[in-house]
Amino acid sequence: MDAEQLLSSVSQASDETEFYTPMPAGYKPGKTKYVVVFGTVMSGLGKGIFSSSLAKVLQDKGLTVAPIKLEGYLNLDSGTLNPFRHGEVFVLDDGMECDMDLGTYERMLDQDLMRHNFTTSGQMYTRVLEKERQGSYLGRDVQMIPHVTGEVKCKLRELAVTTDADVVFVEIGGTVGDVENLYYIEAVREMAFEEGPDSFCMVSLTYIIEPPALGEQKSKAAQLGIGRLLASGIQPHIIACRAQSPVTKKVREKLALYSNVQFENVFSMHDCETVYVIPEMIREAGIDRAVLDILRIGDRVDEAAEARARRTWLDYIDRFRDATRPVVIGITGKYTSLRDSYASIIKALEHCGTHHGVRVHIEWIDTSELSDETAAEALKGVHGIIVPGGFGARGAEGKISCIRYVRENKIPYLGICYGFQLAVVEFARSVCGLDDANSTELDRDCKHPVIDILPEQKQIEGLGGNMRLGGRDIVIKDGTMAKRVFSGASEVRMRFRHRYEVDPRYIEELEKGGMIFSGHAPDYPIMQILELPQAMHPYFVGTQAHPELISRPLRPEPLFLHLVTAAIQRAYPDGLDGEPAASTDSETVETTT
Ligand code: GLN
């Protein structure tokens, strides 16, 4: 029986069959192949990084790739998750709030993703329960197998149909052995069987421990983890080993033997200077060719396209390596102890630093104890500041003190979302003389609520999925710095995630004080970009959007790019070939107070 016959025999829901494999209209068996990445030993190892790097190498070869992340948790999206526990909430253009891995895919593939590239158990179960209410299961008792697994398979095939992908990359969240993702693993096992030979490439991402007391790499934990995958009925074709240092031949041989995986397909993915070198590591190890062989799609490769894409990418890596002159950017924030909460900002700074030939060092600034008196000390030595997105009152007054200090001392500033709003509060207080100005998020009864809840948000109850979310256009005002930063564009598109906005009643007063709103929404008076005139400050910019979410290695985001330009000017007044600036902190404080 070939794949097509097998699929048609299992695809019908009927009361005569035990199977349930709904098939999306237009599905072409054999057209789309699948790479599935499973985590073993522990989570948080970089499944998304491996999967997106491999997808990038295949994309370079001219293949169409489509990633999907299957999350085990019951939340409908990542919007209500605490970034401190789970990493940043990444927002897609269509408004989906999802796992930070989707950011890795977007950056690596330079591709905008959509809600069909992400799902959670919450979404899968909702789909099943809705169908149950509609009577779609024809009197059957609804079960994890075959109904929930059936919906998972359908979801993957739908992605294949809508993207017409050569290869769908499936990343299963968590670790093999977790109760939450058991049914995802079973679904891909079934689907690999249904699609037939050469249709699936199974990758086990594992971890090689190197206990300091032993001083050598040990493979047992990895063996046990992969054994668990084998026990689920899945034979990996490729093993990618995360480790601190390159994984030794001995360890890779052991893993190969105990997992039935060819030695050449056991790949060391050790720590490296930037994730963007991993596609090249994969090429050098020949993993891309192994995948093409396993899936039998070598004939779909466009070698000339690959050579071009590879050169461009290697050029980025070379520039990254050559960019050693340091520039220090301070980031304030509540989640300072976990860098994953700011993953996209860190990446955006890396893209921009590489573009300009500098290495951006990040200084984390805890603002919870900060005041006007201590801001100078906390910001000593930074060449630019970012106040990133955030929620709630903790550390807010400290952030406002930082903003005051950088505004007065002409230190380059980029305020993102919350950082935009707090810049408005600070300006209203210090420049417009509205002493009691605040955001109603921080003080509901303040006299001058310059930042207030968006009108449409007033009616909404609960916290899930109901902010002003996703991609929106921004009209750029003529004659502003924003207009120059965006190379003269009259409209740009960015992603948003907020509940509060500049209260339109205060716009005139803020403008009178000198603040320029250089970007706003096309149809409503929602202010989306602010700046100070260059006579007042070299680079003081805020945006209600999240520009970090759209920065890509080869297309660094302009607001970040110009922040880094301004920081370089502060750090190296005579240009990058010149001497670094002497610390002028004490002088600048004096000139402006
Ligand atoms: N808390 C602010 C709001 O809801 C800012 C949100 C953010 O920074 N993402 O508008």
Which ligand 1 atom lies nearest to the CA of residue 392? Answer: 1
Residue range(s) of every CATH 3.40.50.300 domain in the chain: 16-315
Distance 171 CA to ligand 1 centre (A): 30
What phi and psi values does residue 319 have, to the nearest 5 degrees?
A: -65, -40
> Could you tell me the two tokens for 63?
């293949």
pLDDT tens across the length of the chain (593 residues): 455 555 554 455 455 667 888 999 999 999 999 999 999 988 888 899 999 999 999 999 999 999 999 999 999 999 988 887 788 999 999 999 999 999 999 999 999 999 999 999 999 999 999 999 999 888 889 999 999 999 999 999 999 999 999 999 999 999 999 999 999 999 999 999 999 999 999 999 999 999 999 999 999 999 999 999 999 999 999 999 999 999 999 999 999 999 999 999 999 999 999 999 999 999 999 999 999 999 999 999 999 999 999 999 999 999 999 999 999 999 997 655 567 899 999 999 999 999 999 999 999 999 988 999 999 999 999 999 999 999 988 899 999 999 999 999 999 999 999 999 999 999 999 999 999 999 999 999 999 999 999 988 888 777 777 799 999 999 999 999 999 999 999 999 999 999 999 999 999 999 999 999 999 999 889 999 999 999 999 999 999 999 999 999 999 999 999 999 999 999 999 988 888 887 544 333 333 22
pLDDT value, residue 583: 57
Residues contacting 428, CB < 8 A, separation 6+: 434, 437, 448, 450, 506, 509, 510, 513
Distance 463 CA to ligand 1 centre (A): 13
> Could you tell me the two tokens for 128?
């099943």
Provide the residue count of the chain: 593
Active site residue 417: yes
Instruction: Classify 273 as helix, strand or coil.
Output: coil
What phi and psi values does residue 162 have, to the nearest 5 degrees?
A: -70, -30
Q: Which residue from 576, 482, 570 is spatially nearest to 520, judged by alpha carbons?
A: 482
CA distances from 9 to 141, 188, 473 (A): 21, 18, 48
Helix runs in 326-471, H state only: 343-356, 372-378, 396-408, 418-430, 455-458
Distance 34 CA to ligand 1 centre (A): 38
> Could you tell me the two tokens for 484?
């120059």
Return the percent helix, strand and coil in the chain, to nearest 5.
40, 20, 40
Q: Which CATH superfamily is domain 16-315 in?
A: P-loop containing nucleotide triphosphate hydrolases (3.40.50.300)
pLDDT value, residue 308: 97
Per DSSP, the residues of 406-423 read HHHTT--EEEETHHHHHH
Residue range(s) of every CATH 3.40.50.880 domain in the chain: 324-588
Per DSSP, the residues of 529-579 read EEE--TTT-S-EEEESS-GGGG-BTTB--HHHHHHHHHHHHHH-TT-TTSP
CB 201 within 8 A of CB 34: yes
pLDDT value, residue 82: 84
For residue 495 and ligand 1, the question of a CB distance below 6 A is answered with: no
Distance 104 CA to ligand 1 centre (A): 23
Can you tell me which residue has the tokens 């310059």? 450
Which ligand 1 atom lies nearest to the CA of residue 501? Answer: 10
Q: Which residue from 442, 413, 432, 429 is spatially nearest to 559, judged by alpha carbons?
A: 413
Q: Given 355, 448, 498, 546, which residue is catalytic?
A: 546
**Residue nearest atom 8 in ligand 1 by C-alpha distance:** 389
pLDDT value, residue 463: 72
**Residue nearest atom 9 in ligand 1 by C-alpha distance:** 389
What phi and psi values does residue 206 have, to the nearest 5 degrees?
A: -130, 180
For residue 391 and ligand 1, the question of a CB distance below 6 A is answered with: yes
CA distances from 81 to 128, 165, 196 (A): 23, 31, 38
Active site residue 546: yes
Give the sheet arrangement for strand 448-453, strand by strand: 437-439, 448-453, 500-502
For residue 499 and ligand 1, the question of a CB distance below 6 A is answered with: yes
C-alpha distance across the termini of the chain, in Å: 82
Which ligand 1 atom lies nearest to the CA of residue 391? Answer: 1
What phi and psi values does residue 325 have, to the nearest 5 degrees?
A: -70, 125
For residue 497 and ligand 1, the question of a CB distance below 6 A is answered with: yes
pLDDT value, residue 314: 97
Can you tell me the distance from the alpha carbon of 546 to that of 388, in angstroms, rounded to the nearest whole number? 9
| Alpha carbon of residue 330 to chain centroid | 21
> Could you tell me the two tokens for 573?
């007044």
Instruction: Report the CATH fold assignment for 324-588.
Output: Rossmann fold (3.40.50)
Which ligand 1 atom lies nearest to the CA of residue 441? Answer: 1
For residue 452 and ligand 1, the question of a CB distance below 6 A is answered with: no
